[in-house]
Structure 1
Amino acid sequence: MASLTLLLPALICLQFHLLSLAVADVNIGSRISTDDNGVWRSPSGHFAFGFRALNNNTDPNTKLFMVAIWYDMIPDRTVVWSLKTDNKLATAAAGSQVRITSAGLTLAGPEGNSIWESNLASVVSVGSMLDTGNFVLLNGNSEMVWQSFENPTDTLLPTQSLQPEATLTSRLTDTNYTTGRFQLYFKDGNVLLSPLSWPSSLRYTSYYVLNASASASTLVFNESGDIYVNTTNGAMIQPQGSQWNISDLDPEVNYYRATLDFAGVFTQYSHPRNNTAQPGWRIMRYVPDNICTAISYEYGSGSCGYNSYCAMENQRPTCKCPYGYSMLDPSNQFGGCQPNFTLACGADVQTPPEELYEMHASQDFNFPEGDYERIQPYSKQECQQFCLQDCMCAMAVSGGDTCWLKRFPLGNGRQETVSDQHVVYIKTRVTRDFYTGVNGEPSPAPDSKKEFVLGPLIGSLVLNGILVSTVALFFLKKQKVNRVSKAASGPSETNLYSFTYESLKKATQNFQEELGRGSYGIVYKGQLEEGSCHVVAVKRLDRLVDEREKEFRSELSSIGRTCHKNLVRLIGFCDEGMNRILVYEFMSNGSLADMLFGQSKPRWSVRVGFAMGIARGLVYLHEECESPIIHCDIKPQNILIDEYLNPKISDFGLAKLLLSDQSRTTTMIRGTRGYVAPEWFKNVGVTVKVDVYSFGVMLLEIICSRKVC
């Protein structure tokens, strides 16, 4: 009897394990359609495979569906897997079918057209929906030749392991299953979390790294509900974080899942199997501890969308808009915010900025990254005034005697209590109500005599306004036609192509894929239809001085005449309307910063080559050009690497094109914190030596392969 008592727990565990491996065979030729609401369930009914309608449209003729696996015995039927094709959600119209054939699993449209096929080399004998949530295809030897566990989307389930070649990619929102903005992946023996440059798959710098003592081999979610990384030396490494706590796990009582949420948080959830218990998914543990502060660099929008800031509430990030802003989509708080006014250069040039805009102070949030200019010494009042006068400035931060200026789009905002020394100033439009008096009290209505006088006066003004507007529009249209025709020309005398704005908009797919941003503007990846260089980097300049319109092409002519193997080649430009855009050759290996500060460090001989090449490029700019070119912002982010690991200096010659009062070079600091030469802080003129100082700081970083500032 005693021995039987000892064996009883083991028998229960064995029974549970065998039940989890139970199968529900799906024979060759079986099919399910969007029309019959058919599903393939696991033996216990815990999971189902089939079509799920997308919340895109209520019209049955245009409604779309996805192929998915979900928990089928809980009220919300949570989706844990969806079919992807080319890393995108595979959508199907009404009337589409999923079939199992000897060649594998297929998804066909209502007309029989193929949407997706598993394309297997082995002959399939049967399909099965397992109680683990894994849908598998088996050959004649009962060997798995395809399984959903090896093609994960955003969720892991108990008994599932993530291999180094696989990734988890978040969905766009809680109800939108389109590929989202965050990814979990393996790199150099580590498990990392990174934002994506949505809608592309370009990864930004990681914001969470699970540092393993040896190379990670798999991310394991075992049948007990525990999650860890298996390493090549046999160690098991748990995710690290104050919110990743040891929990009591009981898979017989609870369902478990681990999901990379749409906000970028990798979270383990539990749900009672018994629906009479407290329903709903409960957060067990998660990494990183605070997603709002974990993403801390100038690229991308952060956990929230652009122009919004992130706040942690009840263990979840929420997104809020600054004063004077509102949600782009009220139904999606993570979609970003927009100003409730127009902020643009060239508008209302006859009206002083003080009459158009006002500065609203706040100490509840901050956008700590992405300032395009830092000026000092400046008081809080001077900082506000400078932002008011600068048409590109959307926000300013004043701290001590320093003023940081920020432009649209504002990224990586977060809620934080700023110290008394730091104040965030938001530029908003002045709002006035003609019939509202002081403190919001209504003003007296105008009397009849004033109305009698104002009537003819207003009519006269309207008539004259129409006449003036007609004449102005005629000349503006004529000027625009001349400018557009001029901007559409071919190569100039310096072999620079002059592109139209529409052609560059088309080449970049409406400026969609962001490569990076700096003090001079945002860089996008583009694909030209014509020209010798097909893939290009398109830089949209900002802060161009209106009165320097005539100098733009002459400065470009100077830049266009430069030719050196260690300078990024300028291909062309756009000078159309308010748009000033430069088109450069594309550098496939990214920036020097990516190489030096990434997980994989370049070897010593490569770093020596970087240093020598950059030095040659600077010597050319300073001594071998017709007139010396001072870069003013030498840093690893402005050194690009080509496919042959040649370093090339970018953004040279741009400082003269931007809004810069040359009489104030002692206070208008150019460059990036940590690389700025002492001359900027003294009442002296700057020379090429400011670049030499910045190069020295960068040289130290090249030697050490890490940031020194």
Structure 2
Amino acid sequence: MPPSCAVVDTILPGQALAVNDKLISRNGRYVLGFFEISTKSTENTASSGYLGIWFNTVPKFTSEWVANRDSPIHNTTSLELTISKDCNLVIFNRSTKSVVWSTQANIIRTNSTIAMLMSSGNIILRDYSNSSKVFWQSFDHPTDTLLPGPKIGWDKVTGLKRRLVSWKSSMNPATGVYRFELDPSGVNQIVSSGVWNGKYFSSPENPGYTGPISSNLSYVTLVNNDQEKYFAIINIVDEHVVVRLVIEASGQAKEFIWFEGSQDWSMAYAQPKAQCDVYAVCGPFAICNDDVLPHCSCLEGFTITSPEDWELDDHTGGRLRNNHLGCISNKSTTPMTDTFYSMPCVQLPQNAQEVEAANKRCAIWHNGLLNLRQLQCSSTTNSNGETIYICVSGKDVQSLENNRRQIVIGVVIGFLKGSISIAVKRLDHAFQGEKQFRAEVSSIGAVQHINLVKLVGFCCEGSKRLLVYEHMSNSSLDIHLFRNNSMVLNWDVRYQIALGVARGLAYLHESCRHNIIHCDIKPENILLDGLFVPKIADFGMAKIFGRDFSRVLTTMRGTFGYLAREWITGIAITPKVDVYSYGMVLLEIISGKRNSQTPCSSGEDCDIYFPVHVAHKLVEGDVGSLADQMLHGDVNLDEVERACKIACWCIQDDEFDRPTMGEVVQILEGLVEITNPPMPRLLQAMTEA
């Protein structure tokens, strides 16, 4: 066999690329070769082999194109990539003497055909002596990723259509249910849509969206002539930045950027912005909630169809009933009455059959229930939620009643703990074992600090979990910051709240016997006692780590708007994720509004994201306008400036640029000076997208 071409960009006639060899583009940016993905099941761990192209300069493995996405190879030892007798590029199995995958181009016999990995990330099959004679290219057959250069659209002469199709899950490159393409109706817009049970769907709430599909790092061009109609990403000037557009298994189209020297990708934007806007993202008989992770959860009386797919973020399989309804099953020997349970404050799907009943307009669903969405409704919001009634089996009703009965008993026992006022929290969907739950409660219960809420007790029986806390008479911080009917906190109180929260986090990170990452710092989890002393609460997502470890691996958790980029990129986390969340909370303490609601004076741009607005104002030396307008200027400008600087340092892209919470405390106390922070590049890119 001729020598392999492991360090070049071309496969010549008679040559072969072995399993452990690679093609590398001339600019060093892309690699073509074989790779494996390991998947775990309840029984064993298996590996699937693929031929693909990935980014050579990005430390985190990221595929750009997969050849055999729907035909994984389970034994890769005898594979090679070569040019066959019919001049096609093929994956050949030497053991079975069979072709596993082929470019399947209709090529008229030539003297020589070569395969070349271009600096654009395109693998082409062309004539050796005539570089303009291209027989096949991967850019005509994209998978889930669009790079600068290739086209998405169709060739009006040949009929070739190019579109992106999502992976089935985060660990399975097989053809998924979502696609990203030019609107086939001819309208000049881009449509993200899903294939569901063999049929085409587009979301009634978001049937299509138009540009700009671009950021400050790239832009899109649309071409429509007699030969073809397509859109493409136009390359950026900065060669040290990599841009890619991906249609993810979740159904969202996302643009990611990688800066030279970075360890991972940064997300510039997502479309649709809300995960629950994606059609059928949770599958049937599930409800989607944009404000929690994971977004999808089961309706009462239903269970996950495929837990393995669920763990890989593929929720489209939906749920099945735990028990058949008595009205349609005659197998039960014990009669049980089916009934309806109500779910208030939801956004209902659009595909219902509307009927008039008892002088009220109703909507009835049969078969699969899709696109049910949980809203955050209260008397102080404008959310117009509706109520849905789900029919459940009598067996499930009995189980629900037993749960409620045991919960009431737990609350009664809680109020027999002397004369103190307490708050009881029920942990839903707590799947951890009793031993693990008791160990974590024991560790958190031993934590004592003035700025941490005190755990009075707990109840643990089977899958049921109750936590008993000391009661906070002034409720949570979000009520006082964001609700119009609440008392306005003066600046001194706000600053002391910021300092108290910082001290509590510093204690968790640095002074506990077992250090703790809270993982969900937000105003809702900061409680205020009668003197407005802040106390960090809700350790349901907390992660305990030993002093010998600087990082801890955990599943994504927390609340959007307060999540550090480490959560999104999936790397192991450190206490710096709490630092990032604290920075976001501090900005909201300063402004009195959610960061997405920029408070600004007349004549200013009110659409800019508030953290970016703060960074601009620090450069201009104008911080007085950043404080809550309800304070009418009655603030300490030095403290406002100090708090703004700290917040912007806390939300830096790179966790190593963020201070520790101990350092934040010293800065707030005025013991350490602080310089102007740089603009976080990721936030800037998101704002300009």
TM-score by length of 2: 0.47
Where relative contact order (Cα < 8 A, 6+ residues apart) is larger, the structure is 2
Q: Mark the structure with the bigger radius of gyration.
A: 1
